[in-house]
Amino acid sequence: MWSRFLGHFTKQLGIDLGTANTLMYVKGKGIVVNEPSVVAINRRNDKIIAVGEDALAMVGKTPPHIQVTKPLQRGIIADFEVTEKMLRYFFERVHNDKALAIPRPRVVICVPLDVTEVERKAVGDAATSAGAREVLVVEEPIAAAIGAGIDISEPAGNMIINVGAGSTEIAVISLSGVVTSKSVSIAGEEMNRNIIQYARDVFNLLLGERVAEHIKIEIGSAIELNEKLEANMRGRDLLSGLPREIVVNDAQIREALGRSVKAIVDHVKAILEITPPELVADIYQRGIVLTGGGALLRGLDDALSRGTGLPVRVAEETSSCVVRGTAKLLDDKQLLNDVAIPASDLVKGI
Ligand SMILES: Nc1ncnc2c1ncn2[C@@H]1O[C@H](COP(=O)(O)OP(=O)(O)O)[C@@H](O)[C@H]1O
Ligand SMILES: [Mg+2]
């Protein structure tokens, strides 16, 4: 009785705990957190200095006593303590935003495919110790598909490719479950590394990670473009050791990214090959849906379409598909029950 009473007033939170970005959705309020998953800590006293956007701005610019960390790698918690601190910070911000007497939210949170039980439990535990009352864990592509507006409960094949920062999740979903899938570590961050490598090999230029990402977003592409794009690329000349700026164009960056694009296309083809033919026929008719921030790479949809011979579209508001999927799950208890995986022994039913 008491817990039902609490449940009534407790905020309901949907969370996309991503390698690059953490998004939170409060029922009835919409997306309330959309920030980089980055934390800056003062090593002298272990206190948090900044979280999210403010911490990201410090990357590569810190004195020795300030440590900027990304607590997640490939969507998996690499640093439990920092993840918990980050979640707590966001929970508190959400709570303070609108004074409610009871701060402990019920949470639906996503984990990538292929995580171990221990890794999954860590996500549940981090959310619980950061203040969640109850945690339900959902596989990321399931949430992404729901957020993209797909009715996953039908007996029909839907292929969803969520291109994040640390991993690309390829999944075929039917009857609210993942039938065939693969999680590969080629996604946004690998593309940044491709650009860093290219600048080093071709121009003897050492780039920072944020510069590489900026170039990728500004002029990166997977297929030839109608217009020619250029950007300034600033780094350190490896021969002179001095700063240097050069102009790069879309063709050069496309060449740098080519290996990753090809790898993603090949993995998608491999999944299609092992997917039952009935489901492949559905995917042929419905098309493949791309979600995640990495889906914004120019022409990635076309490259995948060319490679597979299937229609491909990028979901609307692709970067927030996963968190919007968790939000829809908060409203659909039946579906949530069908897709939720117990996060830890502490989890109660709903
Ligand atoms: N316009 C863009 N073009 C290419 N990549 C992009 C673009 N916008 C964002 N990204 C990439 O998307 C990734 C973040 O996507 P997101 O789905 O938030 O990742 P995660 O869920 O792993 O945190 C980053 O690697 C970022 O560089
Ligand atoms: Mg993600």
Residues 237 and 294 in one domain: no
What is the number of the ligand 1 atom nearest to the C-alpha of 213?
27
Q: What is the DSSP string of 12-76?
A: EEEEEE-SSEEEEEETTTEEEEEEES-EEEETTTTEEEEETHHHHTTTT---TTEEEE--EETTE
Task: Give the 3-state secondary structure of residue 236.
Answer: strand
55 inside domain: no
47 inside domain: no
The rounded distance, in Å, linking the Cα atoms of 62 and 184 is 31
Annotated binding site, which residues? 19-21, 165-167, 213-216, 293-296
Split at pLDDT 50, 70, 90, the class of 342 is: low
Residues 161 and 297 in one domain: yes
159 inside domain: yes
Residues 99 and 246 in one domain: no
Residues 230 and 338 in one domain: no
Residues 13 and 125 in one domain: yes
DSSP lists the bridge partners of residue 169 as 162, 183
The chain-wide mean pLDDT, for the chain, equals: 92
Whichever domain contains 114, its CATH number is 3.30.420.40
Mean pLDDT of 251-258: 98
Residues 252 and 199 in one domain: yes
Residues 325 and 220 in one domain: no
Residues 90 and 232 in one domain: no
CB atoms closer than 10 angstroms to residue 208: 16
Whichever domain contains 215, its CATH number is 3.90.640.10
Test site for ligand 1: of 296, 298, 300, most ligand atoms within 8 A of the Cβ:
296
Q: At residue 328, does pLDDT exceed 60?
A: yes
Q: How far is the CA of 319 from the centre of ligand 2 (A)?
A: 8
Q: How far is the CA of 267 from the centre of ligand 2 (A)?
A: 18
CB atoms closer than 10 angstroms to residue 21: 24
Q: At residue 3, does pLDDT exceed 50?
A: no
45 inside domain: no
Mean pLDDT of 275-298: 98
Instruction: Please count the structural domains in the chain.
Output: 3
Task: Answer yes or no: are the C-beta atoms of 34 and 21 closer than 8 Å.
Answer: yes
Q: At residue 2, does pLDDT exceed 50?
A: no
Annotated binding site for ATP, which residues? 19-21, 165-167, 213-216, 293-296
Residues 172 and 134 in one domain: no
The rounded distance, in Å, linking the Cα atoms of 47 and 217 is 33
Residues 218 and 293 in one domain: no
Domain with 278, as residue range(s), is 155-186+267-318
Q: Write out pLDDT tens, residues 192-217.
A: 999 999 999 999 999 999 999 999 99
Residues 245 and 104 in one domain: no
Greater confidence (1 vs 323) lies with 323
Q: At residue 350, does pLDDT exceed 50?
A: no
Task: Answer yes or no: are the C-beta atoms of 321 and 140 closer than 8 Å.
Answer: no
Query: From the CA of 190, which ligand is nearest?
Result: 1
Q: At residue 5, does pLDDT exceed 80?
A: no
62 inside domain: no
Residues 88 and 232 in one domain: no
219 inside domain: yes
80 inside domain: yes
Mean pLDDT of 13-23: 96
The reported pLDDT for the residue numbered 95 is 78
Task: Provide residues with CB under 6 Å of ligand 1.
Answer: 18-21, 75, 164-166, 188-189, 213, 216-217, 220, 292-294, 296-297, 319
Q: Write out pLDDT tens, residues 56-72.
A: 999 989 999 999 999 99
Q: At residue 31, does pLDDT exceed 60?
A: yes
228 inside domain: yes
